[in-house]
Amino acid sequence: MTNKFTTTDDNSQKAAARNDGGFFSGARASSCRSLYVHVPFCERKCNYCAFESAPPRAGDFELYLASLKKELALRRAELGRLTLGTCYIGGGTPTALPPLAWDELIETLEEFFDFVPEAEVTVEANPNSLRAEHLLAWREWRVTRVSVGVQSFDGAELEMMGRLHGAAQAHEALSAALAAGFAVSADFIFGLPHQSLENWARTLREAVRCGLSHISLYQLSLEEGTPWGNLPHDVLPDGYAQYRWAQWYLPRHGYEQYEIANFARAGRESRHNLNYWRDGEYLGIGPGAASYINGARMKNSGLLREYAAALDAGRLPIRESERLDAEARGREAAVLALRTAAGIERAEFAREYGVAALSRVERIMSGFPKNLYESDERGIRLTKSGMRVANLIWEELV
C-alpha cells in the first residue's frame, strides 16, 4: 500500500461546483500574505500532465497579462492592497513567457502588491525553456527561489514522459540557476511505467551531487484526460520501494523530510508551501488558480479565453466556490498538518478548531498501528512508516 502524492505548487484545491461571488468581502487583508500566480502556458503537454495549461496561440501572452491586471483590480477592490510574505509563480511553465512578458508581469505585481523585505519569491522553470534572460530578470527583481521541473535524470524516462529536455540540459539549467545565486529546488517523479529502483536511485544520487537546497518527490498518478490516463496499472511499480529508499538516502546527505513529498537542507524549506500545509490563507490569480481567504475557497476558470471574457464583463472568473464550516476546516487542517514532519500541535489546533476537533483526530489515530504515528503532550505526527501509507490515514480523517 502506497501513498499517491500530489503537488500543492499547482495551487489546486478541492472545491464544490457552486458559482458565487463576494466571498472575500470583509476578509482581513493583512491575514493573506501568500500569492500564487498561475501561468497557463507550456510548449507541449507531458504524457502525465493534468494541470491547467496549453501551448500558447498568437496573442495569448498579451491577453493573459491584460486579463491578469483586470483580475487584480477586482481583487484589490475586495481585499485592499496586500503585503506579501511569499509569492509563487507556477504553471504550466512560467519560463514559456518571453523576457518582455516577464518585464510586464513584474511591473504588474509591483503595482498591486507590497512585499516584506525578507519575502520568499519562487518561480517554476523547465530546463528546455529557461534562458539567461529569465535568470537576469529574476535576479534584478526579488526572486529568491527557482524550482526546476527535472522529473528524472534518465534519458529514456524523460523521453517516455514526453519531456522536452534531456539529462544534460537539466544539469545545465540547475547549474545556471545555482550560479545566478538562487536557492534551487527540483521536482522528480517516481512510480513511472517499468521504472526500476536502480534508475530511481541513480536520479536521486545525481540530484544530491547537483548541490540543490530542496528536493520534491511525486508519485505518478494516472489522470483522466491525459495520454497516460488509460495505462494499465500493472505497468506501474507500486512506488513503495522508491519512496522508502528516498526516505533513507536523502537525510543521509543533508536533506531532512519536512513534508510528505519534500526534503530540504536546514532553513531551505518552502515557506510558501508551508503556508498551505498550515491552513494559511492565500490568493491565487490567473486561469485555474485557487484561493483560500476568510474561510472560503474559490477556483478560477482554467480556460484563458473564458477567464478573460469574465473579466471583460467586469466579474471575477470564478468556476468553483465553497465556504467551509468549522468542522470541515478542522478536518482539512488535520490532514494538511499531518503532511508535515511537525504534525499537529495540540494546543494550537484546539485553540483554532476546537477541543472536539482535536479529540476526533486523537480517536481516529488511536485506531492505527502505533508504529505509524507518534503522540505526546506537544502533538501528533506521522512517522516515516506512517508517511508511506498516509492516504489510508487521510481517508479516515476526512
Complete domains list, the chain, with CATH:
29-277 (3.20.20.70), 332-397 (1.10.10)
Which pLDDT value is given to residue 42? 87
Per-residue pLDDT band at 31 (split at 50, 70, 90): low
pLDDT exceeds 90 at position 45:
no
Which pLDDT value is given to residue 13? 34
Hunting for cell 495505462 — which residue is that?
231
Give the mean pLDDT of 181-209: 96
Q: What is the DSSP letter of 99?
A: H
With a CB cutoff of 8 Å and minimum separation 6, the contacts of 90 are 9, 10, 11, 36, 37, 38, 39, 122, 124, 147
What value, to the nearest 5°, has the Cα angle with vertex 164 and ends 161 and 165?
A: 100
Q: Give helix 99-112 / helix 60-79 axis angle, nearest 10°.
A: 10
Cβ(387)–Cβ(1) below 8 Å: no
Per-residue pLDDT band at 2 (split at 50, 70, 90): very low
- Give the integer Cα–Cα distance in Å for 80 and 76: 5
Torsions phi, psi for 87 (to 5 deg): -140, 130
Q: Which residue has the higher pLDDT, 50 or 337?
A: 337
pLDDT exceeds 90 at position 261:
yes
pLDDT exceeds 60 at position 19:
no
Q: Tens digits of per-residue pLDDT, 90-129?
A: 998 999 999 999 999 999 999 999 999 999 999 999 999 9
Cβ(283)–Cβ(79) below 8 Å: yes
Which pLDDT value is given to residue 295? 87
pLDDT exceeds 80 at position 1:
no
Which pLDDT value is given to residue 29? 41
* Mean predicted lDDT score pLDDT of the chain: 90
Considering only 210-219, 227-236, 244-253, which range has the smallest mean pLDDT?
A: 227-236
pLDDT exceeds 50 at position 176:
yes
pLDDT exceeds 50 at position 205:
yes
141 CB neighbour count, 10 Å cutoff: 17
Give the mean pLDDT of 315-324: 94
pTM for the model stands at 0.90
Considering only 64-78, 144-158, 211-225, 332-346, which range has the smallest mean pLDDT?
A: 211-225
Considering only 17-31, 97-111, 164-178, 299-313, which range has the smallest mean pLDDT?
A: 17-31
**Chain centroid offset of residue 384 CA:** 21
Q: Which residue has the higher pLDDT, 44 or 257?
A: 257
Which pLDDT value is given to residue 24? 39
Q: Which helix (H) or strand (E) holds 321?
A: strand 318-323
Hunting for cell 507541449 — which residue is that?
44
323 strand-pairing partners? 296
- Give the integer Cα–Cα distance in Å for 288 and 301: 5
